[in-house]
Structures are given as structure tokens and as C-alpha cells.
Amino acid sequence: MAPPSDDLATDDDLAAEWANMAEDEDGGDMEDDFSSRTRVLNQEEIDSLLGLQNDGTDQGDKSGIYAILNSALVSYERLPMLEVVFDRLVRMMSTSLRNFTSDNVEVSLDHISSVRFGDYLNSIPLPAMLSVFKAEEWDNFGLLTVDSALIYSIVDVLLGGRRGTAAMRIEGRPYTTIERNLVTRMVHVVLGDLSAAFDPLSPVTFRFERLETNPRFATIARHGNAAIVAKLRVDMEDRGGRMELLLPYATLEPVRELLLQMFMGEKFGRDSIWEGHLVSELWMTDINLQAVLDEITMKLGDVMNWKVGQHIALHATPDSQVTLGCGDVPLFNAKMGRRGGSIACKIQGRVIKEF
């Protein structure tokens, strides 16, 4: 084989040299472009992106990534009737707890918020008592949290503590059987008021299940599930504490359509003016009444063989009763007769329909 010529070798060397120069130029340009486009974010910009303030706490408007993560939460403001239920609960609790403690009790609703169940469990200040209850008709659970200040205040009031002295608070010890029993009695009173508050909207029975002091044992939903928390303040002159009512959205799902309606008047969303107008118009409705002399049962073949002029014998007599009905619904029994020049029916009684 003949050796390569000098011209071919020179061309190959030139091509390789040009390729190396082009790679160096492209690589340098890419590095320069990358370095010019890259910018390091400072801490303030990172906090703004995450939706955090300078001190690392959440912002009230939940901006940034937190807004995307919490976008699945349904705001309680989309359930107008729920505020009405809680307002009714506060009024009823003020009366029932006065009767329960024989003391001047004032119950107020601090605020309602939508949270994730796991975040709520982590935010419970301990020690506290967590009461798990079940909504019988809705087949789901709820949580009632009583803080230590209210626990010792209730124990102090029910056991005859003197007024004007702050409730004794001993940290670091488990609650006694007497304290648990007294709090359980108070929880039964609150659950009875909660059932009565929902009663005009949808009858439901909240049944006490158990009392826990460890939040891990009071898990009634997945940690990522959304829930509504109503924070209540109970004041007994110079004593009192807080109570928190948690209802997962899964628990409220059976009555979600009812909670979406707007509140009008004192009848939980019912429009009495429209109801009265509808009733008055129904009484003015025209209906067609039919007087049935008699009915017989025949075979379809016989009916198909009917001819003009054929007679059909009924079992009715001049004294037989006829049935007055509207459509397929029998209404009255009557007797057929004549009044003036017209055929008339005299009503004998009402037909009792069996279901």
C-alpha cells in the first residue's frame, strides 16, 4: 500500500488543529455564559421564596412554596353555616356550664382555622387532656382538647375551691382519677351541646369514646388530612382556660352541602317567606279529578277482539260507591247521583292509602 502523501497529512493536521481551537472557544464561551447567568440568592430572598419571615416563622398570607403545599386545604370560610353552628354552641355552652359548675361561666369563640391534623397534634401544649368522640350518624370521629389551666379550674370549682385564688397547677405529674372523671363529665356536657347545635342542621349524636393525655394515642385521621379547629375560651371570673374542638373534613363530608348554604334568619338557612308563598300557591293549584265507576280485569286477547257495538258488563249497581282520584292516587269514596241536570258525586269518606 502506498504511503500517504504529504498534502493529505498536512490537511489532517490542519483539521485537527481547527477542531481543537473550536472546542476551546466553545467551552470558554459556555463557561462565561453560565457564570454570567448564575446568581447566588441571599437569605432574604430564600425566605421570601419559602414564604417565611426574617425570623423563620410563617407569614400570615402563606406565600411562596407554603401556599402551594397548603393549597389543598379548604378554608372554613367556604362553609358559612359552620360559623352559625359554633356560635350556637357558644351560647348553649355558657348556659350548660353555668348549671354544671354553679358558677358564673362565660364562653367565647376566639377563632376558627383550617389546619392539617398532623400540624395540630404537634402544636398542642402539654399537659392536656384529649377527648376522642364519635359522630354516630356520620360514622367518623372528632377531637376535643382541654388545656391544663381549664382542667385545674374545673376541678377547683367542682370541689368547692374558694374564689379569688388562682387555680393550682402542678406540672410533671399524671392526672388523677378524680381529675379525669370530672373532666369527662364536663366533656359529656359539651358534646351534648354540640349535638344540639348541629340538630337544626342535621340530627347527629356525638358519643364520648375515650380520654387520652398523649396526642399520639388520639390520632383519628391521617397527618396530612385537613381539619377545622375552633378555639374556645372558658372564663369563670378569675379562673378559666382554653378548649379546642377539632372536626376533620372527612367527618363533615356527609353534611357538606348543608354547611355550604347561607344563613338567613334564625332557621338555619331556610327562607320562611318563600316557603309561605309556595304553600299558598299549592292550595290554589288546579287538579283533574276522575270518578271511577268500576274496574274489571280482562285478557289482552279479549280486548284485541272487541268490536263496535259490543257490551262490557260492569259490577257496579245504583248503590255502589265510586272512587274519586287524581291520576293513579285514590282520594275519596263517593256515591253517584244527579243534581239538577248534571251527574254529581256525594263524598262519603277519605281513602286511606296503605304503604
Residue 138 contacts residue 254 (beta carbons within 8 Å): yes
Helices (H) and strands (E) in the chain, counts: 11, 10
- Give the CA distances from residue 337 to residues 163, 317, 341, in Å, rounded to whole numbers and listed in that order: 85, 12, 11
**Residue owning grid cell 447566588:** 40
Indicate the SS3 state at residue 165: coil
Query: What CATH number belongs to 73-272?
Result: 3.40.1550.10
Query: Which amino acid appears at position 328 of this protein?
Result: D
Grid coordinates representing 63 are 406565600
Residue 212 burial class via C-beta count within 10 angstroms: exposed 0-12, middle 13-18, buried 19 and up:
middle
**C-alpha distances out from residue 59 to 33, 64, 78, 112, 248, Å:** 36, 10, 22, 18, 24
| Beta strands, E only, the chain | 106-116, 128-135, 140-147, 206-212, 226-236, 239-248, 290-292, 321-326, 329-339, 342-350
Q: How many CB atoms lie within 10 A of CB 113?
A: 14
Q: Which of 101, 254, 83, 118 is nearest to 190 (CA)?
A: 101
In the chain, ranges of CATH 3.40.1550.10 domains: 73-272
What's the CA gap between 112 and 128, in Å, rounded?
Answer: 20
pLDDT per residue rounded down to tens, the chain (355 residues): 445 555 545 566 666 665 666 555 555 554 555 455 666 777 777 766 665 555 544 444 455 555 555 555 555 557 788 888 899 999 999 999 999 888 888 899 988 888 888 889 888 888 889 999 999 989 899 999 999 888 888 888 888 876 655 555 556 678 889 999 999 999 999 999 999 999 888 889 999 999 998 888 888 888 888 899 999 999 987 788 899 999 998 898 888 888 887 654 444 555 667 778 888 888 888 888 888 888 888 889 888 988 888 888 887 777 788 888 888 888 888 888 888 888 888 888 887 665 4
Nearest to 206 by CA among 114, 134, 278: 134
